[in-house]
Amino acid sequence: MTNINGNRFELNEYLNFDDAVEAVKWEVDRTLSTSPKIIRQYTQHLVVSRGKFIRTLSLLACAQKEDKMINRNAVNFAAAVELLHLATLVHDDVIDDADLRRGEITLQKKFGKKTAVICGDYLLAVSLELAASVSDKEDYLKLNMPSYVSKVCLGELNQHLNNHNIDLGIMKYLRIISGKTAALFEASFYAGAVLSETDPKRINRYRKLGNNIGMLFQLTDDCMDFEETTEVAKKPVESDYEQGVITLPLIYALKKDEVFKKKAEGKLSRSDINSAVKKTGGLDFTHMLAEKYYKKSLKIIADLELEEDKANKLKFVLDKSYRLI
């Protein structure tokens, strides 16, 4: 059992799924709320804007064994991934000059960009420390968390270098999001599989499943910028292009409409973009590609021949990533 004793979670070696989820949330909140005094004011601000823990659900579902129990090391790995993800969001908000994140004022807006950058760096360091604190060091070495940090950073840099690049191709864009978004999903699925499986081929299937789900997550998010309101999305919408980010619906429109692409050599208005994306079917194309990743993911889950409860948990994560709202 997982028990709460005052401010402390006492974990047995194995936990059920619900207890493991609560333990991860507690660990993330504890890390943010009890950080060193010099930075605590800033990290505490992030507690209110923590997300849906979709990567935690992914990792814990993958870590679940046939008896439905989960190794306690999964809690460390999941909390580490959540803190790493939070670090990337803090840095993203600085780059994008964003005011809102998950419906709350961003760290950079409230305390300034320099403070936010340093806090993001701190969260990155803490996430790596937490991942390395697992009892079985061989599991940590298998996961190779630093390599996923590198993938995320390079993906973010690649996106930044291609800001305002109206010649950005579809395949290159997919490589960018494979790093900046899908890598953390892949890490989550891989970390869980390392704790529940021994066959390298099966573990690799989980890794591929995580990458596919991460890709469709980002493609669905691309569409939200055109299709949802700020209230629903809980972040600014119709803002990607304004921040220099060229996403797939716009890449497709630029590819299909030469007149529009010529116009894009100057400054585009939001109405220009929305009209071209609608005219060329940019959103339909992006949704179609996301659906392909969805179907690939379903096939991997079926091929793994998992126990029903575990398969259903992975399908829930898949559906949640495909819908987002």
Q: pLDDT band at residue 146, thresholds of 50, 70 and 90?
A: confident
Check residue 7 and give its pLDDT: 47
Per-residue pLDDT tens digits for 289-325? 999 999 999 999 999 999 999 999 999 999 999 987 5
Domain boundaries in the chain?
3-323
Fold of 3-323: Farnesyl Diphosphate Synthase (1.10.600)
Q: pLDDT band at residue 9, thresholds of 50, 70 and 90?
A: low
Per-residue pLDDT tens digits for 197-256? 999 999 999 999 999 999 999 999 999 989 876 666 565 667 788 888 999 999 999 999
- pTM to 2 decimal places: 0.91
Q: pLDDT band at residue 5, thresholds of 50, 70 and 90?
A: very low
Q: Residue 70: is its pLDDT beyond 90?
A: yes
Q: pLDDT band at residue 166, thresholds of 50, 70 and 90?
A: very high
199 φ, ψ (degrees, to nearest 5): -75, 115
Kindly report which listed range (3-7, 69-73, 255-259, 299-303) carries the lowest average pLDDT score: 3-7
Check residue 6 and give its pLDDT: 41
Q: pLDDT band at residue 145, thresholds of 50, 70 and 90?
A: confident
